[in-house]
């Protein structure tokens, strides 16, 4: 089923990027940007994008529910059913902080999940047009070409650690553990960019604290189907509906093991 949905989902995402997202890029008035919480922005483009995506996805697969980031912000109870049954997962603009500031990266992310298992995922970069997608058991692709995750080959594994939702004590501990073992780089503050970086050999390791489904359902599938590894710190798989903190991604299982042992004493 997921394979048959691919073309209409991609067409919908590209239409939304063209008609809604890009016309607002670097063209937002101050009243069109607001904060849902500290350092958590939403724009008129997020809201309009989600409405159009939800409407289009409901037409493509009417039997699936809709779990959208902005809908969940308005009604948190929607998130409680994210792991139940068949659902579309929508991130209308991932990296909204970047988008609102008029800078890249940002993306549109869609996933289809059934009872918590992600069946398919799509990640679109509206600026470049790059499309990453994955099907469960069907591999990962970028712009239609099969892709396999690769390590960066750097002297020290390149790590982008999203620690801003951690406590000060947790941040200090992970920084101490990473020192001398990983080459730390800035995070893009955009999961739609971070997951492709792991597959393309730009980054080797990523740590995520918050694990909401619109940020990670599509990306975890894309990385895992490409031969990398993204899972919980205890080695269990990421499942939609499980919003426990802590998720570790790596460009290879070898580097996942290294990061789990070094950064978290997991083995």
Find out whether 249 and 196 touch, Cβ atoms under 8 Å. no
117-124 and 183-184 strand pairing: unpaired
**Was domain 2-146 assigned CATH 3.30.540.10?**
yes
Pick 158-264's CATH classification: 3.40.190.80, 3.40.50.2300, 3.40.350.10, 3.10.129.10: 3.40.190.80
pTM over 0.85: yes
Go through 162-183 and write b for each residue having 16 or more CB atoms within 10 A of its CB, e for each that does not. Answer: bbeebeeeeeeebeebbeebbb
- Domain ranges for the chain: 2-146, 158-264
Where does residue 266 rank: exposed (0-12), middle (13-18), buried (19+ CB within 10 A)? middle
Helix axes 44-60, 2-16, angle to 10 degrees: 150
pLDDT in tens, the chain (267 residues): 667 899 999 999 999 999 999 999 999 999 999 877 766 789 999 999 999 999 999 999 999 999 999 999 999 999 999 999 999 999 999 999 999 999 999 999 999 999 999 999 999 999 999 999 999 999 999 999 999 999 999 999 999 998 888 888 988 999 999 999 999 999 999 999 999 999 999 999 999 999 999 999 999 999 999 999 999 999 999 999 998 999 999 999 999 999 999 999 865
Q: How far apart are CA 93 and CA 20, in angstroms?
A: 11
């Amino acid at each position: 089923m997921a394979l048959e949905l691919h073309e209409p989902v991609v067409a919908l995402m590209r239409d939304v990027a063209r008609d809604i997202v890009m016309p607002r890029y670097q063209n937002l008035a101050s009243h069109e940007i607001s904060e849902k919480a500290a350092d958590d922005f939403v724009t008129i483009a997020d809201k309009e994008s989600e409405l159009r995506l939800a409407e289009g996805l409901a037409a493509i697969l009417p039997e699936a529910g809709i779990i959208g980031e902005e809908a969940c912000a308005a009604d948190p109870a929607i998130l409680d059913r994210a792991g139940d049954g068949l659902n579309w997962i929508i991130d209308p603009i991932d990296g909204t902080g970047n988008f609102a500031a008029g800078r890249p990266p940002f993306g549109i992310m869609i996933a289809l999940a059934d009872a918590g298992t992600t069946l398919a995922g799509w990640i679109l970069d509206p600026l470049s047009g790059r499309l990453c997608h994955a099907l469960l058991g069907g591999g990962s692709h970028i712009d239609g070409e099969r892709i396999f995750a690769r390590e960066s080959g750097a002297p020290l594994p390149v790590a982008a650690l999203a620690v801003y939702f951690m406590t000060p004590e947790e941040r200090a501990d992970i920084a101490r553990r990473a020192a001398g073992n990983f080459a730390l780089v800035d995070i893009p503050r955009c999961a739609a960019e971070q997951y492709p970086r792991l597959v393309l050999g730009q980054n080797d390791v990523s740590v995520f604290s918050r694990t909401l489904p619109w940020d990670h359902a599509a990306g975890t599938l894309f990385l895992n189907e490409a031969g990398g590894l993204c899972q919980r710190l205890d080695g269990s798989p990421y499942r939609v509906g499980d919003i426990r903190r802590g998720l570790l991604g790596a460009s290879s299982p070898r580097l996942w093991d290294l990061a789990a042992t070094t950064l978290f004493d997991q083995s």
